[in-house]
């Protein structure tokens, strides 16, 4: 359910894609503003192929090769429209807006007709959905500089879209995230994130589910609750804590600087957060991202990844899963990046050059009150 301070309205872009405005005042009429671009109907081709050795799915989306890549500021497709600007957002201003990605990695599409039988190929349609979330109409800036009211509006959009996408029969898991920085691979500088609605449970989430089930069978308690309790008792790696949330550097952190943010009252997903938890998140999250930015003398590239419970065919959550946010950077020093080289990329075994305790000290020192 949306906050009483956020108003949602839905429109269509010229190629048929949905656009959803989350406004901080009523009656803006933004969803009624037409998209003047003469775009052809949206018809992306996405295909999933299974790796038989890992039992994992890979998305093939060749149309993404042609997606917009680091355009000049005056040609940014995420800036507001109007005055002849060719934008993905037709309105001349907006608060928070979500729209279907023009170059998705997942989308309902037919499988290509094979020229001949391929016994090594197991494929399925790339059903699912990819959406873009614009945090602000301002081209410059970052999430850490958003006002708490705007952060709360973004949280409302995340929760609202999670609930809507979970209700789609082809969706098994909803993943909101933000990529920030060219070092991460962003193709647009405008402050924004994305939401992927997968037709399968991603490997990382599936592994957490399996680990939580084993922990319950062995210990009789919840894995996420126990991890938070142990880190609170240790105290050494806690970066910030308030009445609703705790941010900590995990004891076995893989990335040079990494935080996991947990609600102190466990919930399965973003729609399950109550008003107090959402208010607390709106206050704390910009401070944590600001601490990442203060680590070095250049803007810190990061990924902020929400881990939520999948839902089954009946719409039920995994009762053992705990919502949390993982924020990490590939920067290990002022002008050095952490590359996923032979051990990480080849074997999936990680080597971290910064101890979690040192990372926690530095992040606490960089945290703005």
Does residue 108 have a pLDDT over 90? no
Comparing 7-111+121-200 with 204-366, is the CATH topology the same? Answer: yes
Cα 335 to Cα 234: distance, rounded to the nearest angstrom: 32
Sheet holding 56-60, edge to edge: 56-60, 47-51, 123-125
Cα 326 to Cα 289: distance, rounded to the nearest angstrom: 11
**Comparison of pLDDT for 113 and 257, the residue scoring more:** 257
Domain boundaries, the chain: 7-111+121-200, 204-366
Sheet holding 7-12, edge to edge: 7-12, 18-23, 96-100, 129-134, 192-198, 173-180, 302-307, 324-329, 257-263, 245-248, 238-241
pTM of the predicted model as reported, rounded to 2 decimal places: 0.96
Mean pLDDT, to the nearest integer, of 113-124? 85
Cα 56 to Cα 50: distance, rounded to the nearest angstrom: 6
Mean pLDDT, to the nearest integer, of 172-182? 97
Q: Which CATH class, in words, describes the domain spanning 204-366?
A: alpha beta
Coil, strand or helix at 24: coil
Q: Which CATH class, in words, describes the domain spanning 7-111+121-200?
A: alpha beta
Q: Which two tokens stand for residue 137?
A: 């109409």
- With beta carbons less than 8 A apart as the criterion, state whether 163 and 272 touch: no
Cβ–Cβ contacts within 10 Å for residue 229, how many? 12
**What percent of the chain shows pLDDT beyond 90?**
88
Mean per-residue pLDDT of the chain? 95
The runs of H, that is alpha helices, within the chain are: 148-166, 203-219, 223-234, 275-293, 356-366
Res. 369 pLDDT band, cuts 50 70 90: low
Q: Which two tokens stand for residue 193?
A: 């994130």
Q: If we measure between CA atoms, which residue out of 142, 138, 127 comes closest to residue 285?
A: 142
**What percent of the chain shows pLDDT beyond 70?**
100
Which residues make Cβ contacts (< 8 Å) with residue 358, sequence separation at least 6?
none
Does residue 1 have a pLDDT over 80? no
Question: Which own/partner pairs from 230-237 qualify as long-range (CB within 8 Å, at least 24 positions apart)?
Answer: 236/357, 236/360, 237/356, 237/357, 237/360
Cα 337 to Cα 320: distance, rounded to the nearest angstrom: 35
Res. 280 pLDDT band, cuts 50 70 90: very high
Helix/strand/coil percentages in the chain, nearest 5:
25, 25, 50
- With beta carbons less than 8 A apart as the criterion, state whether 172 and 311 touch: yes
> What's the pLDDT score for residue 82?
81
Residue 345 Rama label (left phi>0; alpha psi -120 to 50; beta): alpha
Does residue 83 have a pLDDT over 80? no
> What's the pLDDT score for residue 300?
95
Cα 4 to Cα 22: distance, rounded to the nearest angstrom: 12
> What's the pLDDT score for residue 53?
97
Mean pLDDT, to the nearest integer, of 246-266? 98
**Comparison of pLDDT for 341 and 117, the residue scoring more:** 341
Cα 270 to Cα 364: distance, rounded to the nearest angstrom: 26
According to DSSP, the β-strands at 192-198 and 129-134 are antiparallel
> What's the pLDDT score for residue 84?
78
**Comparison of pLDDT for 195 and 298, the residue scoring more:** 195
* DSSP-assigned letters across all residues of 214-277: HHHHHHSS-HHHHHHHHHHHH-TTEEEE-SSEEEE--TT-SSSEEEEEEESS--SSGGG--HHH
Res. 283 pLDDT band, cuts 50 70 90: very high
What is the rounded radius of gyration, in angstroms, for the C-alpha atoms of the chain?
A: 21
Res. 264 pLDDT band, cuts 50 70 90: very high
Give pLDDT tens digits for 22-31: 999 999 999 9
Catalytic residue chosen out of the listed positions 173, 190, 192, 215:
192
Q: Tell me 170's DSSP state.
A: T
Does residue 133 have a pLDDT over 70? yes
Which residue shows structure tokens 């999430």?
A: 143
Helix (H) or strand (E) holding 193: strand 192-198
> What's the pLDDT score for residue 100?
98
Is 139 in the active site?
no
Question: First and final CA of the chain: distance in angstroms?
Answer: 31
Q: Which two tokens stand for residue 14?
A: 């010229």
Does residue 37 have a pLDDT over 90? yes
Cα 280 to Cα 243: distance, rounded to the nearest angstrom: 8
117, exposed or middle or buried, with CB in 10 Å at 0-12, 13-18, 19+? exposed
> What's the pLDDT score for residue 160?
98
């Amino acid at each position: 359910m949306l906050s009483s301070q956020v108003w949602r309205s839905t429109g269509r872009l010229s190629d048929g894609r949905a656009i959803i405005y989350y406004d901080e005042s009523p009656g803006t009429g933004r969803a009624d503003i037409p998209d003047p671009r003469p775009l052809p109907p949206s018809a992306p081709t996405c295909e999933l192929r299974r790796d038989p050795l890992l039992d994992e799915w890979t998305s093939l989306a060749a149309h993404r090769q042609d997606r917009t890549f680091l355009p000049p500021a005056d040609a940014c497709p995420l800036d507001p429209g109007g005055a002849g600007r060719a934008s993905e957002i037709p309105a001349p201003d907006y608060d928070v807006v979500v729209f279907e990605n023009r170059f998705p990695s997942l989308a309902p599409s037919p499988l290509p007709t094979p020229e001949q039988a391929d016994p090594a190929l197991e494929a399925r349609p790339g059903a699912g959905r990819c959406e873009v979330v614009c945090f602000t109409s301002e081209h410059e800036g970052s999430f850490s500089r958003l006002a708490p009211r705007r952060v709360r509006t973004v949280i409302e959009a995340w929760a609202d879209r999670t609930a809507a996408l979970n209700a789609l029969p082809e969706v098994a898991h909803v993943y909101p995230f933000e990529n920030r920085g060219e070092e991460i691979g962003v193709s647009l500088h405008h402050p924004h994130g994305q939401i992927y609605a997968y037709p399968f449970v991603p490997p990382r989430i599936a592994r957490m589910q399996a680990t939580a089930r084993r922990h319950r069978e062995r210990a009789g308690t919840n894995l996420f609750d126990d991890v938070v309790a142990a880190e609170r008792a240790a105290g050494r790696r806690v970066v910030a804590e308030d009445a609703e949330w705790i941010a900590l550097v995990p004891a076995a952190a893989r990335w040079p600087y990494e935080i996991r943010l947990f609600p102190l009252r466990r919930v399965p997903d973003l729609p399950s957060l109550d008003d107090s938890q959402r208010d607390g998140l709106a206050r704390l999250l910009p401070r944590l991202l600001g601490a990442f930015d203060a680590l070095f003398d250049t803007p810190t590239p990061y990924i902020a990844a929400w881990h939520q419970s999948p839902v089954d065919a009946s719409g039920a959550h995994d009762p053992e899963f705990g919502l949390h946010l993982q924020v990490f950077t590939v920067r290990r020093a002022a002008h050095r990046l952490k590359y996923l080289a032979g051990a990480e990329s080849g074997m999936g075994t990680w080597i971290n050059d910064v101890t979690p305790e040192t990372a926690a000290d530095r992040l606490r020192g960089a945290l703005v009150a």
